[in-house]
Amino acid sequence: MRLFLLLLLGSLFITACGQTGPLYRAPATEMNQPKKVEAPKAESEAEEIKTEIRAIKAQKIQQ
């Protein structure tokens, strides 16, 4: 029984993770990083909205 368990345990170590083929190194971290995408500037959008609100208020005052 011990022999059978040792063979079973040994076969588990031999099979490893199941990945076939040659081993390889992961690419450099620079290649793994996603490209940086700049978000639109919130400040300029906020200023545009404020300007539009002022224009609408000015129109209401003139009427």
Question: Does the predicted model carry a pTM greater than 0.75?
Answer: no
41: confidence class by pLDDT, cuts 50, 70, 90: low
Inform me whether the pLDDT recorded for 25 exceeds 60.
yes
CA-to-CA separations, 28 to 22, 25, 31, 35, in angstroms, rounded: 19, 9, 6, 14
d(CA 4, CA 11): 11
Hey, how many other C-beta atoms are within 10 angstroms of the C-beta on 23?
5
33: confidence class by pLDDT, cuts 50, 70, 90: low
Inform me whether the pLDDT recorded for 10 exceeds 70.
yes
